[in-house]
Structure 1
Amino acid sequence: MKTIVPLLQNVPLFQELSQADLLGIAPLFVEKKVKKGSILFLEGDAGEELFLIKSGVVKIYRLDEAKEIILALFRDGDFFGEMSLISAGLTRSATAETLEACTLYALKRTSFVQYMEKSPKLCLKLLETTMGRLRQANDQIYDLTFLGVRSRIIKTIIRLSEQHGIPAQDGLLINVKLTHQQLANMVGTVRESVTKVLQELQDDELIQIDKKLITLINVDAIKAEIR
């Protein structure tokens, strides 16, 4: 499992560990290959594992009266399920499903406890990571409460570009394929509203869309659209 060490070195949770510690933790991860559309865990399930993504895309969502609300998207190098490492007996607060075929590494809490007990830095990093994601969730709640639909859509695009953006010839490419319905599920609106706003941004030459991939041409101008 030495091959996982370079991946761990780029995960904020493990960045402060020594090479020796990383080599010690690496064998605790179990590789899993899963197909597109696979449910990794359901909201309410017992939380026992942290997942690290080697390749693929995973969506985290909740159901509200059968309506899907996407909370986050994770891809290569991202991790999720970290709350399960903090305390035994916690249940999953959302559902995780693969949007693409994925290769994942799973780490059980019971295997990881020994490292948490002897590494205060690791415990602190885990807490920092969890608090950071809580702040992001609070920001999303604020947006849903106080921003109009158009601003929420634009802000979601900007957030996705910050999380998954890669430099491209024409601007900043969001390196995750998204349907209009998936974006609507992230924003808390209907697909037609997303289609309308995206078309307006394209007409104003602020974004480009090709094969479900969005490129931000002028990020500052797009941010100015938030009102």
Structure 2
Amino acid sequence: MKSIVPLLHNIPLFQELMEEDLVGIAPLFTVKKVNKGTILFKEGEVGEELYLIHSGVVKIYRLDEAKEVTLALFRDGDFFGEMSLLSNGMTRSATAETMAASTMYVLSRTAFTSFMEKSPRLCLKLLETTMQRLRHANDQIYDLTFLGVRSRIIKTILRLSEQHGISTPDGLLIDVKLTHQQLANLVGTVRESVTKVLQELLDDELILIDKKLITLRNIEAIQAEIR
């Protein structure tokens, strides 16, 4: 499992550990390969594992009266499920489902706890990472409360470009295929609103859309659209 060490170097949770620490924790991970549409865990289940994505895409969502609200999208190099490592018996706050065939490394709470006792630095990094994600959740709550639908859609596109953007000759490509409905689930609105706003941005030549991939042509002009 030494092949996971280079990946750990780039994960915020582990990147401050010494090389020998990374080599020590690497064998504690197990490999999990799953198909698109696989439910990794459900909201309300007891969580016992941290997931580290080697390849693929995973969405984290909750169901509100049968309506799906997507909280986050994770892909290569991201991790999720870290809250389960903090407390024994803690239940999952959301559901995790793969959006593509995925390969990931899984770390159980039991294995992590025994290693964490030897690495106070890892304990502090886990708390720091958890707080960062909590701040992100607070930002989402603020947007839902104070921003209109159009501004939320645009802000979500900008956030996705920061998380998954790739520079191309045409602009900043969001390297995750999203249907209008999936984008609506991220924003907390209906598909028709997303379609309308995307068409407006297309008409203004601020974005390009090709095969469900969105490219931002002018970041500054798009940011100015948030009111």
TM-score range, shorter chain: over 0.9
Q: Distance in 2 between matches of 1:136 and 1:154?
A: 17
Equivalent runs, 1:1-227 vs 2, <5 Å:
1-227=1-227
Deviation at 1:177, TM superposition (A): 0.3
- 3-state SS, counterpart of residue 17 of structure 1: coil
Give CA-to-partner distance per residue, 1:79-98, whole Å, 9 cap, x none.
00000111111000000000
Q: Distance in 2 between matches of 1:143 and 1:66?
A: 22
- 3-state SS, counterpart of residue 154 of structure 2: helix
- 3-state SS, counterpart of residue 117 of structure 2: helix
Deviation at 1:120, TM superposition (A): 1.5
Unmatched tracts of structure 1, length 5 or more: none
Whichever residue aligns with residue 192 of structure 2, its letter is E
Whichever residue aligns with residue 64 of structure 1, its letter is D
Whichever residue aligns with residue 132 of structure 1, its letter is Q
Q: Distance in 2 between matches of 1:109 and 1:90?
A: 11
State the TM-score, normalized to the length of structure 1. 0.99
Deviation at 1:168, TM superposition (A): 1.0
| Structural RMSD (CA) | 0.6
Q: Distance in 1 between matches of 2:189 and 2:38?
A: 25
- 3-state SS, counterpart of residue 208 of structure 1: strand
Percent of paired sites with the same residue: 80
Count how many residue pairs are aligned between Structure 1 and Structure 2: 227
Whichever residue aligns with residue 31 of structure 1, its letter is V
Q: Distance in 1 between matches of 2:119 and 2:3?
A: 23
- 3-state SS, counterpart of residue 13 of structure 2: helix
Whichever residue aligns with residue 110 of structure 2, its letter is T
